[in-house]
């Protein structure tokens, strides 16, 4: 976030955020500079269990993704387009989970679920940015698999280092744009009808739902953002896999089909998990009134998926497992 946007956020939070005025008679406009996160549970007996569980999941996620980064960077055999994208995805996953879980752990430890407006908008902005990076990198990886399976002889020429670098850089440049759009939309809201966010972090759709904004127009905004930064990457992934499936079906031998599909099986599993939970978490607040369903989808989207990615990519990948064993021998 730029310095100008940051100061705009502080100004908007300190001055312009009030409770909704009545359409008939004006109410006392009470300034709102903080939000209250509902969290995962209000039961005090569950707080130590939740703290230990999410701390463990966070450490496993960071360690697992760091091992993927170390394995791909230290082994020259893994200096390929696919593993270059995978290492960037692992770095993004570490950043993605870091935007939500440490703050939640601190809230549980301090028994304080209050978050300032500036902190809330900052978390929302970072969440949108790293979530978009995941979207874009998964799309890049789908294109990589499409070229590898549908054009294997031309793969080294098409997926050259320059193109791989450009694709990753484009992903990193588009993501802040998504983040700024979320922030700018939030800053346009002059009034909020409540200060309680029905989640354990400042989810963009939850913040938008609190705004004194016509529900139809609010839903249009959410769907528009989802279409631009969600539907387009998904369309690219679906198009890539439709071409991949068509090529696999033309392979005569069953063994050849299995070998071709196994090269993209891990990526496909991550895509289904990430987009399935992400769609439920992002649009759930619009279409569902069940707080539990929204929170569960958010946990899967923001915590479980980044944690499982290293396992999905390493357990079925002989090259990653070999590189990790070699890395362990060098360290030992």
Domains and CATH numbers, the chain: 44-109+131-190+214-322 (1.20.1070.10)
Distance CA 13, CA 22 (A): 21
Give 201-214 pLDDT, tens digit per residue. 888 877 777 766 65
Using an 8 Å Cβ cutoff, are 228 and 68 in contact?
A: no
37 sits in which H/E element? strand 34-37
**Burial readout 295-304 (b: 16 or more C-beta within 10 A, e: otherwise):** bbbbbbbbbb
**Burial readout 63-75 (b: 16 or more C-beta within 10 A, e: otherwise):** ebbebbbbbbeeb
Other CB atoms within a 10 A radius of the CB of residue 157 amount to: 10
**Burial readout 174-202 (b: 16 or more C-beta within 10 A, e: otherwise):** bbbebbbbbbebbbebebbeebebbbbbb
| Lowest-confidence pick of 27-41, 175-189, 245-259, 295-309 | 27-41
Using an 8 Å Cβ cutoff, are 65 and 91 in contact?
A: yes
pLDDT greater than 60 at residue 26:
no
Give 270-320 pLDDT, tens digit per residue. 888 888 776 766 555 555 556 677 777 788 888 988 998 888 887 667 788
pLDDT band per the 50, 70, 90 thresholds, residue 114: confident
Tell me the chain's radius of gyration from C-alpha atoms: 22
Using an 8 Å Cβ cutoff, are 241 and 268 in contact?
A: yes
At residue 35, the 3 state secondary structure works out as strand
Whole-number pLDDT of residue 92: 94
Q: How much is the mean pLDDT over the chain?
A: 79
Residue 184 CA: distances (Å) to CA of 1, 5, 46, 121, 294: 11, 8, 37, 10, 24
pLDDT greater than 60 at residue 32:
no
pLDDT band per the 50, 70, 90 thresholds, residue 44: confident
């Amino acid at each position: 976030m730029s310095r100008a946007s940051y100061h705009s956020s502080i100004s908007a939070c300190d001055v312009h955020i009030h409770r909704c005025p009545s359409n008939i008679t004006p109410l006392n406009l009470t300034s709102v500079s903080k939000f209250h996160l509902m969290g995962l549970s209000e039961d005090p007996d569950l707080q130590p269990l939740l703290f230990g569980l999410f701390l463990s999941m966070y450490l496993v996620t960071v360690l697992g993704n760091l091992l993927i980064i170390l394995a791909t960077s230290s082994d020259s055999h893994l200096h390929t387009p696919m593993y270059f994208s995978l290492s960037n995805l692992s770095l993004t996953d570490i950043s993605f989970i870091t935007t939500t879980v440490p703050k939640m752990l601190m809230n549980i430890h301090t028994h304080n679920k209050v978050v300032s407006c500036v902190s809330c908008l900052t978390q929302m902005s970072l969440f949108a940015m790293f979530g978009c990076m995941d979207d874009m990198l998964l799309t890049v990886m789908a294109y990589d698999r499409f070229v590898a399976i549908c054009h294997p002889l031309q793969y080294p020429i098409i997926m050259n280092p320059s193109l791989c670098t450009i694709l990753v850089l484009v992903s990193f440049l588009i993501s802040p744009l998504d983040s700024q759009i979320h922030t700018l939309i939030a800053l346009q809201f002059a009034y909020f009808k409540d200060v309680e966010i029905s989640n354990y972090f400042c989810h963009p759709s939850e913040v938008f739902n609190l705004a004194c904004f016509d529900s139809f127009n609010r839903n249009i905004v959410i769907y528009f953002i989802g279409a631009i930064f969600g539907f387009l990457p998904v369309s690219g992934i679906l198009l890539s896999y439709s071409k991949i499936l068509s090529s696999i079906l033309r392979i005569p031998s069953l063994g050849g089909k299995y070998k071709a599909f196994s090269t993209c099986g891990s990526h496909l599993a991550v895509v289904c998990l990430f987009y399935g939970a992400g769609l439920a978490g992002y649009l759930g607040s619009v279409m569902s009134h069940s707080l539990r369903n929204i929170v569960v989808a958010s946990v899967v989207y923001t915590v479980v998926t980044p944690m499982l990615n290293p396992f999905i990519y390493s357990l079925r990948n002989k090259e990653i497992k070999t590189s990790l064993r070699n890395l362990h021998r060098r360290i030992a």
